[in-house]
């Protein structure tokens, strides 16, 4: 396959490895699952990234989701600049926090109050603490393949059976931390019932209703409805992790697709407009357990940072002003995934695709992917070759088979057509020359 000139990125990566662990500040960025050297990005404009070698890429990562309006959106950028000219951070209340809280609550069903944090990990960690306090029970259930940040109690994997307590999936996580976390199979309600039966008391079930961290794998509507019923029956707090899907899948996240409410919901990505932001919200009854109203402690020096709040406000305002936004983004996502599937059929390459609003995913897999076990059967070597080939042709897809892609408002049909032409060239070369 043709190769980009990436000498500067190679040098930058080698230099970074001398002072940053692995040369990156988040593991997937190291490109270990797809090979090659990660491009070191110099700037982004609209739908494009430009690396330190001057290579230009159509960007389907969009900072892993938050840039629904692309890089350097004029209105969001102006809002951020106006705010930062007044100060970067105060560690004190601002009206911007209230304004963004009102905006999120007005657009998302079932939330009375909200608390801002600085990351998705903080949001899910805090929501679980709150749920445990509310129910008085220590066990939680998560789903294999769902990622909720890197807090200790959530870094677990399934044991020998589905209804088993999780084992730490990272060194440094004490078994005592993870012993209260049970792991169920995504889209399998019986596995959830087995976990509940095995536990002495489940306080919370946390789920990505539209999973984006095993590739894009949405929950089946009937499964999510049954999960809601189970939680209501057993007085378990249902936490919907919408850090990725909130305001990405629709203007009201998964609720706009399924119509199913969580007791607590976690947010991130889009509500920060590209700045580091997380949040969790729910009913007034549960949320009022938080300090200073209640005894559940949660705090953060940079929580509600004014610059981040202004970026989020500008982003949500633009969403509200464009009622046909998600229709357009979904149309482009379908054009891309259906085009890829058609090309793969031509070359007899198995491919499964999925779209939810502006989110899309594809697996080099013979069968539909309904859970993490299905996802693991995908051809990761094929994905790596495809990823490398597309990168060399100026298309930047997520650097793992088990991640999600994103469409931004700066993209159009001509751009998608161009991507499909390049994909056809890459897949033809792969099918012709094989390994």
Catalytic site residues? Answer: 147, 241, 269
Phi and psi at residue 431, in whole multiples of 5°?
Answer: -70, -30
User: Which of 178, 177, 184, 182 is CA-nearest to residue 165?
Assistant: 182
Sheet holding 56-59, edge to edge: 41-45, 48-51, 56-59, 395-396
Residues composing the chain? 435
Buried b (16+ CB within 10 A) or exposed e, 190-221: ebbebbbeebeebbbbbbbbbbbbbbbbbbee
- State how far the Cα of 265 lies from the Cα of 164, in Å rounded to an integer: 26
CB 24 within 8 A of CB 30: yes
């Amino acid at each position: 396959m043709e190769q980009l000139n990436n000498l500067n990125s190679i040098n930058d990566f080698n230099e970074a490895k001398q002072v940053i662990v692995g040369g990156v500040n988040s593991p997937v960025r190291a490109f270990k699952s797809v090979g090659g050297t990660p491009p070191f990005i110099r700037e982004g404009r609209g739908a494009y990234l430009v690396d330190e070698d001057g290579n230009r890429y159509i960007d389907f990562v969009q900072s892993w989701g938050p840039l629904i309006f692309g890089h350097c959106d004029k209105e969001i950028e102006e809002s951020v600049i106006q705010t930062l000219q007044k100060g970067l951070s105060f560690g004190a209340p601002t009206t911007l926090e209230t304004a963004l809280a009102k905006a999120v609550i007005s657009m998302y069903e079932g939330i009375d109050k909200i608390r801002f944090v600085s990351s998705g990990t903080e949001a899910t960690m805090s929501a679980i603490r709150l749920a445990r306090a509310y129910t008085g029970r220590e066990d939680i259930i998560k789903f294999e393949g769902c990622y909720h940040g890197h807090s200790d109690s959530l870094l677990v994997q399934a044991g020998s059976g589905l209804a088993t307590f999780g084992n730490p999936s990272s060194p440094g996580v004490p078994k005592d931390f993870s012993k209260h976390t049970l792991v169920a199979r995504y889209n399998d309600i019986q596995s959830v019932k087995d976990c509940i039966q095995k536990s002495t008391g489940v306080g919370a079930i946390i789920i990505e209703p539209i999973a984006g961290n095993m590739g894009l794998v949405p929950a089946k509507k009937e499964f999510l409805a049954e999960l809601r019923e189970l939680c209501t029956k057993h007085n378990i707090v249902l936490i919907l992790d919408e850090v990725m899907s909130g305001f990405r899948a629709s203007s009201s996240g998964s609720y706009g697709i399924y119509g199913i409410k969580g007791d607590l919901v976690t947010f991130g990505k889009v509500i920060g407009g590209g700045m580091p932001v997380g949040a969790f919200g729910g009913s007034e009854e549960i949320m009022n357990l938080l300090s200073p109203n209640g005894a559940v402690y949660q705090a953060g020096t940079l929580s509600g940072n004014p610059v981040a709040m202004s970026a989020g406000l500008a982003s949500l305002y633009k969403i509200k002003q464009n009622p046909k936004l998600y229709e357009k983004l979904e149309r482009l996502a379908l054009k891309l995934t259906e085009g890829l599937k058609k090309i793969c059929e031509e070359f007899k390459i198995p491919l499964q695709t999925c779209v939810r609003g502006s989110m899309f995913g594809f697996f080099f897999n013979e069968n539909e992917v309904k859970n993490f076990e299905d996802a693991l059967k995908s051809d990761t070597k094929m994905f790596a070759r495809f990823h490398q080939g597309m990168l060399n042709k100026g298309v930047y897809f997520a650097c793992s088979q088990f991640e999600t892609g994103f469409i931004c408002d700066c993209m159009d049909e001509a751009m998608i057509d161009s991507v499909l032409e390049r994909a056809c060239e890459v897949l033809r070369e792969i099918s012709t020359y094989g390994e």
